[in-house]
Structure 1
Amino acid sequence: MSKTLIVPGLDGSPGPHWQDWWARTDPDAMIVDLPDPRRPVREAWEAALAVMILRHPNSILVGHSLGSVLIAQMLARWSGLKVRGAMLVAPADPMAPTEQCRRIRRFGPLPETAPDVPAVLVASRNDPWMAFDRSRDLADALGADLVDLGHAGHVNVASGFGPWPGGKVIRDRLLGRTERPSVLRRWFGQAAPVRSRPPGP
């Protein structure tokens, strides 16, 4: 079984975030320890992720928000890294003209080069960090399948995403694509995206 390297975004992904839940419930998954998540430095984050990929070759990368941007940039710039696939959840747009995106401006611009690995981009229609049309354009530029979660906010704790089994389903389908190249489009062309929310208010 390939390792799943979980790549957090700005401010990290402490519990009850779905990335923390995933790492605790999947023995083949681990969170990448990115330095100073509140004041991210692109070069330092790239180095930390590169080390983890080198230690665990042929892993699936699962990023959220700025972590998704980091993965896309790494795959565009470091083509020699051995990665099995990439799952980009709710990427943030470093170039968006909003005050909150000012904190991640140094991670822009977004790459426009398709990585040489299967990829899926999971997007929300009301994500304050990236407009849905921009997510769709980015998926096209990266050659990634687009999974539309509907109105799911930033796919974080604030929008109800603590435990998220549907994320593992998407990861498993991505793994299936790497095992059976002849069905590259079947999973995402026929299956509706899965969204799971934790109980409670």
Structure 2
Amino acid sequence: MTTPRILIVPGWRNSGPGHWQSLWAEQFAGVERVDQDDWITPSRAAWTASISHAILARRGPVVVVAHSLGCIATTHLPPEAVERIQGALLVAPADPERRAVLSDFAPVPYARLPYRSVLVASSNDPYCPVRLAGAYARAWGSELVRMPDAGHINIASGHGDWPLGLALLASLTGRALAPKEEGATAA
């Protein structure tokens, strides 16, 4: 079986220095990050095109590690990209109906995802009520991991390296991430 690439899909306004997504991309081999042309005024078409391009740019399966609006963008991907996804870790999904700037991502698809997914939600996420995150998990067929009082599961809520996230990712890939070799760059 081919080892899947890990594709980091940040949310609205990107995941800056110190965010667990940024740390994972810096520290681990086989981890790539999707960049967007506009992190401030996101367009669903542009974001899904960037994510799709990253998925299809290389052969082999992909495990998506999405945060916030990145989770919602992942659910909007076209079939040719979805076919390559082996699994997804969907962390602190956004509610695009709560902020006008994110409304291009509404309505959120409520169809079962054709790959294994784990959705991590916080009981006090300011960007998505836990009830809505639970509804996403049920609709998408995702395993739900509910974290008490974890905020938006980002740097502001104290989640740097985030070991629990690494363990959840390992449950999707069947292996722990390998550290990058000294002097190596992202794939």
Could you tell me the TM-score, scaled by structure 2's length?
Answer: 0.87
2: CA distance, partners of 1:78 / 1:89: 22
User: Which of 94, 117, 120 is the equivalent residue of 1:119?
Assistant: 117
Percent of matched pairs sharing the same residue = 38
Task: Look up the match of 1:88.
Answer: 90
- 1:181 aligned residue: none
User: Given the alignment, which residue of 129, 133, 136 partners 1:135?
Assistant: 133
Q: Is the 8 A contact 1:53 1:81 kept in 2?
A: no
Map of 2:52 onto structure 1 = 50
Could you say which residue in structure 1 is the equivalent of 2:79?
78
User: CA offsets, 1:48-96, max 9 Å, x none?
Assistant: 111111123311000000001111221xx42653111011100001113
Q: Distance in 2 between matches of 1:160 and 1:102?
A: 27
Cα distance in 1 for residues equivalent to 2:86 and 2:128? 26
2:71 maps to 1:68: yes
Unpaired runs of 5+ residues, structure 1, are 178-201
Task: After TM superposition, list the pairs within 5 Å mapping 1:96-115 onto structure 2.
Answer: 96=98, 101-115=99-113
Distance 1:42 1:141 in 2: 20
Q: 2:144 maps to what in 1?
A: 146
Structure 1 Cα separation of the partners of residues 26 and 165 of structure 2: 14
**3-state SS, counterpart of residue 174 of structure 2:** helix
The one of 168, 171, 181 equivalent to 1:170 is: 168
Query: What is the root-mean-square deviation of aligned Cα atoms in Å?
Result: 1.5
Does the residue aligned with 1:136 lie in a helix, a strand or coil?
helix
Q: Residue 60 of structure 1: SS of its match in structure 2? A: strand
Higher relative contact order (CA 8 A, sep 6+): 2
Q: Distance in 1 between matches of 2:103 and 2:57?
A: 29
- Name the one with the larger helix percent: 1
Q: Could you list the runs of 5+ residues in structure 2 that have no partner in the other structure?
A: 176-187
1:86-122 CA-partner distances (Å, limit 9, x unpaired) = 11100001113xxxx2221111111110111011100
Q: Contact 1:120–1:144 at 8 Å: present in 2 too?
A: yes
Task: Give the Å deviation of 1:149.
Answer: 1.4
Measured in 2, the distance between the counterparts of 1:138 and 1:19 equals 22
- Aligned-pair CA distance for 1:28: 1.2
Secondary structure of the structure 1 residue equivalent to 2:90: strand
TM-score normalised according to structure 1 size: 0.81
Greater alpha carbon shift after TM alignment, 32-41 vs 138-147: 32-41
- Report how many residues are paired: 171
Name the amino acid aligned to 1:92.
A
Aligned partners of 1:90 and 1:121 also within 8 Å: yes
How far, CA to CA, are the matches of 1:32 and 1:67 in structure 2? Answer: 10
Match among 14, 22, 25 for residue 23 of structure 1 = 25
User: What CA distance in whole angstroms lies between the structure 1 residues aligned with 2:24 and 2:55?
Assistant: 18
